[in-house]
Amino acid sequence: MNIYRTAVTIRLARILGKCLTTGIIFFGLILFSPNQANSYPAFKTAPAILEDNSISTQNLTTTSITSEEVPEEVLGLQSYLESKRSPLAKNSVDFYLAAAEFDIDPYLLPAISGIESSFGQALIPGSYNPFGWNGGKSHFSNFREAIYTVASTLRKKYVPSGAISAEKIGRTYASSWPTWIPKVQNLKKAIESSVN
């Protein structure tokens, strides 16, 4: 049974890879009523953040966009994450949109995920927590929820205004902050230089 699932997963990954190389990126989850369909912009920025810092999936939309509509940074980040065999590659748009909404460097969260979970490859199964959030104990419904929750909390609780950097969040974010900060900084620079 596991061999069959693996074969199906590989086949689906290849199909998805072919779709991505033709310039189509799929993201999100469609959960809207027909009368709301025309009220959403084609490029939805973020789901609602609830008071308990969880994400409401009620108004998420799925959008197909072509490579002409996607900023180069998103495609570059996706390519970088794919080169690392990261399950987060298909969430490159979410990294970019969350960074824009919460005024965060778009490469900071991917760098944190690289340090904390090898870009989402080493995490508690089913947790969707590539950031080691809450000591790795937090569980999310999907990677998108994790990205928006962490971005929102970094902006609202860690650094309410100004630039968010590894130096500013490190002492609170990671108990190993003396080594964590330079690791995140160096990986962020590597991602940024690879993308640009």
Which pLDDT belongs to residue 49?
41
Question: In this structure, are residues 28 and 62 in contact, taking their beta carbons and an 8 Å threshold?
Answer: yes
Which pLDDT belongs to residue 93?
95
Q: Does the predicted TM-score (pTM) go above 0.75? A: no
Which pLDDT belongs to residue 67?
55
CATH number for the domain formed by residue range(s) 71-195 = 1.10.530.10
* Mean pLDDT (the chain, rounded): 76
Question: In this structure, are residues 88 and 143 in contact, taking their beta carbons and an 8 Å threshold?
Answer: yes
Which pLDDT belongs to residue 7?
42
CA distances to 17, 46, 93 from 194, rounded to whole Å, are 20, 26, 17
Question: In this structure, are residues 104 and 149 in contact, taking their beta carbons and an 8 Å threshold?
Answer: no
Q: Give the residue ranges of the chain where pLDDT is below 50.
A: 1-13, 15-65
Which pLDDT belongs to residue 37?
35
